[in-house]
Structure 1
Amino acid sequence: MKKRILITGSNGLLGQKLIEKLSNSTQFEVFATSRGENRLSNKIGYTYQSLDITSKEDILGTLNTIKPHVVIHTAAMTNVDQCETEKEACWNLNVKSVEYLIEACELNNTFLLHLSTDFIFDGKEGPYTEEGEANPVSFYGWSKLAAEKLLIHSSIKWAIARTVLVYGIAEDMSRSNIILWVKKSLESNKNIKVVNDQWRTPTLAEDLADGCILISEKEAEGIFNISGKDLLNPYQMATMTADYFGLDKGLIEEVDGSIFTQTAKRPAKTGFILDKAIAELGYSPKSFNEGIDFLAKQIA
């Protein structure tokens, strides 16, 4: 018998990749949920249902009907500056939804995999292991940490997949990413300013989806770092992108973050150490160069 797996945020970048990889699964019967209508072009191999994750009634009703064995919770407010200015909406999407999911999972004996972020750290000690000490510098970071604490203190079976700077190509191309932005700018002969004082381990969306599936198959409990393996700053990412596509690096100006005004503070140096996910899950992410190559093939 196939296990039932429910994904929240299926219209989002990670949600799309999960549906893509799971829709022909021999192991899982797949239920995709998102707010509003299904925006994926492939409608085969899964069941879609509209779900408002800020509604307790909606979550309880949906989980009591489907009775999933596993939930992967990808839906969230991830715009860091928006979270700073719309705190109530951020809290409802990022924290209250997890509270409701925990209650519904408790009633249905469901394993809950929750997506979290490197922004729970202050960026003074990066890269981090799973045991790193959390100290967010933004409201977004605080909301994601609050959600983690709800899980840790719950009685359900849970896992947290923390990730960093996810990039990939969404089906409707609504989201840009550093690779697409640099490529497009340099092809248009545009000068761009790129920061050199923020460090991350950028994550290919397909790799993150693979990590989530590995956790779900094993119902592996606990916290896992699921990110890319190369610690880079955006300036390095931009020059690597220019090199790959044979574009003019002279158009890229190396600057520090102080020249940009952003509503929310960003941690300086995060990035993840992946030893646990590699050893316990068999997680194997691509390098950033392999990631660029992967996207280039998708664009082509």
Structure 2
Amino acid sequence: MKAALVGSSGYIAEFILKRFSNENKIESVLRIDCNDKADAYLDLSEPEKFDYNILDDIDYIVFTAAISGPDQCAKEFDACWKINVTGTSYFIREAIKRSCRVLFFSSDAVFGDIPGMIYDEESETKAYTPYGKMKKAVEDEFKENPCFKAIRLSYVASAKDKYYTYLLNCIRKDEVADIFHPFYRNTTVVSDVVDIVAYFASEWDKYEPTFLNVAGKELVSRVRMADELNRFIGGKLKYTISMPGEDFFTNRPRITQMHSLYISKYGIVEDNSFTEKIVKELKEIEL
């Protein structure tokens, strides 16, 4: 199988590339991005300039590229829509024309913010944030196409994610971390995401639904994440808890509770606790 990775310089892409390099079923990986390190250059603001003939022998495309900052998507809505929706949809259409199977990285932001609601794959999408509306627009365009599937990511934790990087830097600098609370997600981990990407490479037809919610079984706060880090490193992190202002929650809900009807049903990844999942990720820490 020949694969391609769009957004190959991204945070999660780094882990996917490492996994694909050890997968016997993956013959090659075409790295596509808007930088010189990629095998093929793609500017999603000008998708028509890309040479799509390069996809003719590609079987499987993992599409991770996006402007994902919720505040940037709100402040620069038109520019972000051009990349996250117009350019992305153009690329996916061209890929599907060439019979490529496209795994699109979506988000729990496609759902609304109904108090007490636990969203699953069959829940109606009522995105209200700019970023969520962008992901929903791509989902809606391609959801009937058998060459398209989307994984909806909750927060993806690892020793290299933005939040844990911030906490670790506070430890290294002997600074007190400031943690926003309440702020909850069904946090998943990067190793599970990579396992899911590998699953779809080999089991695309076996998985019948279009969408998969990639979420941990527990609703996890940023405080819990910090406490798990402290358990692992012996209490070296010092932190205070702050309640963010209303402006912070304009473009992101306080709580998004999401679970999957299908992760366990299809045996895709282990249905274990956040503690069990994050310990494996934190083993990569170097202080």
If the length of structure 1 is used for normalisation, what is the TM-score? Answer: 0.83
1:164 aligns with 2:154: yes
Aligned pair partner of 1:115 in 98, 105, 121: 105
Residues 252/22 of structure 1: CA separation in 2 closer, same or farther (3 Å cut): same
Residues 298/240 of structure 1: CA separation in 2 closer, same or farther (3 Å cut): closer
Q: Which residue of 2 aligns with 1:71?
A: 61
Contact 1:35 1:50 in 2 (8 A): yes
Residues 162/63 of structure 1: CA separation in 2 closer, same or farther (3 Å cut): farther
1:99-248 to structure 2, matched below 5 A, reads: 99-124=89-114, 125-153=116-144, 155-169=145-159, 176-219=161-204, 220-221=207-208, 222-247=210-235
Secondary structure of the structure 2 residue equivalent to 1:224: strand
Q: Which residue of 1 aligns with 2:25?
A: 27
1:255 aligns with 2:242: yes
1:289 aligns with 2:280: no
Secondary structure of the structure 1 residue equivalent to 2:150: strand
Contact 2:159 2:282 in 1 (8 A): no
Residues 147/294 of structure 1: CA separation in 2 closer, same or farther (3 Å cut): same
Query: 2-side partners of 1:63 and 1:202: how far apart?
Result: 38
Residues 213/126 of structure 1: CA separation in 2 closer, same or farther (3 Å cut): farther
* Residue type at the aligned position of 1:21: R
The CA deviation at 1:256 is 2.7
Query: 2-side partners of 1:126 and 1:19: how far apart?
Result: 35
Q: 1:94-120 deviations in whole A, cap 9, x for unaligned? A: 111332123213321121111100111
Q: 1:214-247 deviations in whole A, cap 9, x for unaligned? A: 1222113510012333311112212222232122
Secondary structure of the structure 1 residue equivalent to 2:62: strand
Contact 1:187 1:247 in 2 (8 A): no
Contact 2:61 2:100 in 1 (8 A): yes
Query: 2-side partners of 1:56 and 1:131: how far apart?
Result: 31
Contact 1:69 1:111 in 2 (8 A): yes
* Residue type at the aligned position of 1:226: V
Query: 2-side partners of 1:178 and 1:146: how far apart?
Result: 28
Q: 1:115-135 deviations in whole A, cap 9, x for unaligned? A: 100111223244321112222
Q: What is the aligned-residue identity percentage? A: 21
Residues 279/123 of structure 1: CA separation in 2 closer, same or farther (3 Å cut): same
Aligned pair partner of 2:47 in 46, 52, 56: 56
Query: 2-side partners of 1:276 and 1:133: how far apart?
Result: 17
Residues 233/102 of structure 1: CA separation in 2 closer, same or farther (3 Å cut): same
The CA deviation at 1:49 is 2.3
Q: Which residue of 2 aligns with 1:44?
A: none
**Alignment size in residue pairs:** 281
* Residue type at the aligned position of 2:186: T
The CA deviation at 1:206 is 2.2
Unpaired segments of 5 or more residues in structure 2? none
Secondary structure of the structure 2 residue equivalent to 1:180: helix
Contact 1:227 1:285 in 2 (8 A): no
Query: 1-side partners of 2:173 and 2:247: how far apart?
Result: 25
Contact 2:189 2:277 in 1 (8 A): yes
Query: 1-side partners of 2:107 and 2:63: how far apart?
Result: 13
Query: 1-side partners of 2:284 and 2:166: how far apart?
Result: 15
Query: 2-side partners of 1:178 and 1:285: how far apart?
Result: 23
Give the superposed CA RMSD: 2.5
1:298 aligns with 2:275: no
If the length of structure 2 is used for normalisation, what is the TM-score? Answer: 0.87
Contact 1:63 1:105 in 2 (8 A): no
Contact 2:154 2:186 in 1 (8 A): yes
Aligned pair partner of 1:274 in 260, 265, 280: 260
Residues 129/63 of structure 1: CA separation in 2 closer, same or farther (3 Å cut): farther
